[in-house]
Amino acid sequence: MDPVEVRSLSKTFTTKEGPLFRKTQKSVTALDDVNFSVKKGEIFGLLGPNGAGKTTTIKAICTLIHPTSGEVYVNGHNVVKDAQRARQDLGVMLTGDRTLYWKLSGRENLEYFAALYHMGGATAKQRIEQLLKLVGLDERQNTLVENYSTGMRIRLSFAKAILHEAPVILLDEPTMSLDPQSARLVREIIRDLRKEGCSILLTTHYMEEADQLSDRVAIIDHGKIIAMAPPRELKETVLKSEIIEIEAQNINPQVVEKLRGIPTITEVVSTIDDAAAQKGVIKVHASGGKQVIPEMLGVLVKGDVEISNVKVATPTLEDVFISLTGRALRD
């Protein structure tokens, strides 16, 4: 059995909506028949847009929510029936910086969680020293967390997740809100953990991160896994298309629709970065090669789109997502 096994996992939440005394029940399927496993010494990336089911998957694995159906095993322990043992084998980092005690110092936070994970005094002390150095907080270890920057809090939260040297580590968006230098540090530590034999489940909506770190990636959308393979294999599935990126201003929906009308274009996705200027990127997947570019540019110019750059791009995991769903990850 692999360190993490997720079998036919489904989760439906029931919410009540409407005014008092006239509330109606509404069911939302967060996860629908999710299956995957994480092997020993593997980094497994779970990639998907916000609300796709990444965090729900993590919470089901780490025993915080009960599945509606299906089973999850951590190191052979069923997370519902044998939750305590599963928890002992799990190191978890949940999203955000509010997972720590702000009125305790960085060191006090780690000491507290070390005790909850049954780490003996001397072992805990040594490990805490090591981790504070590793995440670059040794000089601020006695400062209250409320006086830390967001990046420092996230690094401490990451240190907390790997504190008791669990064989399985779940990281929910571990580099979100981190500056590039800190993000790089966290990625390096994650790679080191893999070398030490840890099984790591990583959720992220940063394509490059999933691409660089993961041995395998599962793409999740609307609670379903729609693709699962090593990043290189996933990208090969879109190699038969040419990917053209157009940076432009005054991008409008009518033009995007017209582009979709060109027969050799299979997907068009526009991402707006500056709403006032309608400035952003149009990504086009074309089956007929680069020959489509003149026709495409003609449509854009006629539609008053101001083009600043056109390039033929190499496929990324985002392109895989686009080809599978017809949407960008940020949509």
Partner 1 sequence: MTRLSDTFDPLRAIFRKQVRHLIRYPGEMVFLFIIPYFLTGLLVAMGVSVGGQDAFGNFAVQTGSSLNPVVFLMIGSGVWMISWIVLEGIGTSLRDEQMKGTLEQNFLAPINRFLLLVGQALSQIVITSLLFGGVIVASVLLLEPRGALGLILAFGILMIGLIPLFGLGFVFAALVIRFKEPYAFTQAANVLFAVLTGTFYNVTLLPYWAQYVSTAIPQTIVIQNMRLAVESVQGLIGAYGTIFILLAMALIYPFLGYSMFKQFERRAKVTGDLSKF
Binding residues for partner 1, per CB under 8 A? Answer: 13-14, 56, 59, 62-66, 68, 84-85, 87-88, 90, 92, 94, 96, 98-104, 108, 111-113, 115-118, 120, 144, 160
Cβ closest to partner 1, residue 56 vs residue 182: 56
Look at residues 63, 17, 197 and name the one whose alpha carbon lies nearest to residue 73. 63
| Element holding 297 (H helix, E strand) | helix 292-302
Q: What are φ and ψ of residue 41, in 5° steps?
A: 70, 25
CB of 156 to partner 1, least distance (A): 12
Which one-letter amino acid corresponds to residue 120?
A: G
Report d(CA 34, CA 32) in Å as an integer: 6
CB of 146 to partner 1, least distance (A): 10
Cβ closest to partner 1, residue 108 vs residue 129: 108
Give the 3-state secondary structure of residue 38: strand
CB of 108 to partner 1, least distance (A): 7
Cβ closest to partner 1, residue 64 vs residue 228: 64
Cβ closest to partner 1, residue 62 vs residue 269: 62
CB of 36 to partner 1, least distance (A): 21
CB of 32 to partner 1, least distance (A): 16
Tokens 């790089």 -> residue: 184
Look at residues 27, 33, 30 and name the one whose alpha carbon lies nearest to residue 70. 33
Concatenated DSSP letters of 170-215 = EEESTTTT--HHHHHHHHHHHHHHHHTT-EEEEEES-HHHHHHH-S
The DSSP 8-state label assigned to residue 265 in this structure reads E
Look at residues 44, 58, 43 and name the one whose alpha carbon lies nearest to residue 9. 58
Q: How are the residues of the chain apportioned to helix, strand and coil, as percentages rounded to the nearest 5?
A: 35, 30, 35
CB of 115 to partner 1, least distance (A): 3
CB of 63 to partner 1, least distance (A): 7
Cβ closest to partner 1, residue 98 vs residue 191: 98
Cβ closest to partner 1, residue 24 vs residue 84: 84
Sign of the dihedral through C-alpha 38, 35, 94, 210: positive
Cβ–Cβ under 8 Å, residues 323 and 286:
no
> C-alpha 99: how far from its chain's center?
18
Separation of first and last alpha carbons in the chain: 37
Do the strands 24-38 and 4-17 form a parallel or antiparallel pair, or are they unpaired? antiparallel
Report d(CA 63, CA 84) in Å as an integer: 9
CB of 324 to partner 1, least distance (A): 27
Cβ closest to partner 1, residue 69 vs residue 252: 69
Cβ closest to partner 1, residue 16 vs residue 22: 16
CB of 200 to partner 1, least distance (A): 16
